[in-house]
Amino acid sequence: FDVDGAPQAMIVSGTPDTVYLVAWARTIPDDPDAWEHIARGTLQAPFNRIQLPVRTDGVWRLWLTSLGERGDGTYQSRISSVRFPAW
């Protein structure tokens, strides 16, 4: 996500039990290891607020690292929206 300014949070709407990683870079790096890892966790509710450190402008990445298990033994997660509120 290419974001202007310095967002204080990321609001993610998605499937509970989805494990994520949030990363930041000034521009999209050629080397995937060059991203600065900011936060990681598990979505606990349909709407999740992830506190962000101050980073001005740049690119944010939301990487799903583990999907929620469904009742039939398969795995699936959905992200329906990602917002960077101005407050």
**Tens-digit pLDDT profile for residues 54-85:** 999 999 999 999 998 888 999 999 999 999 98
The pLDDT, as a whole number, for residue 87 is 63
From the centroid of its chain, how far is CA 86?
17
Specify the pTM.
0.88
Write the CA distances from 24 to 27, 62, 70, integer angstroms: 9, 9, 30
AA letter at 6: A
Write the CA distances from 4 to 8, 21, 29, 36, 57, integer angstroms: 12, 20, 18, 17, 4
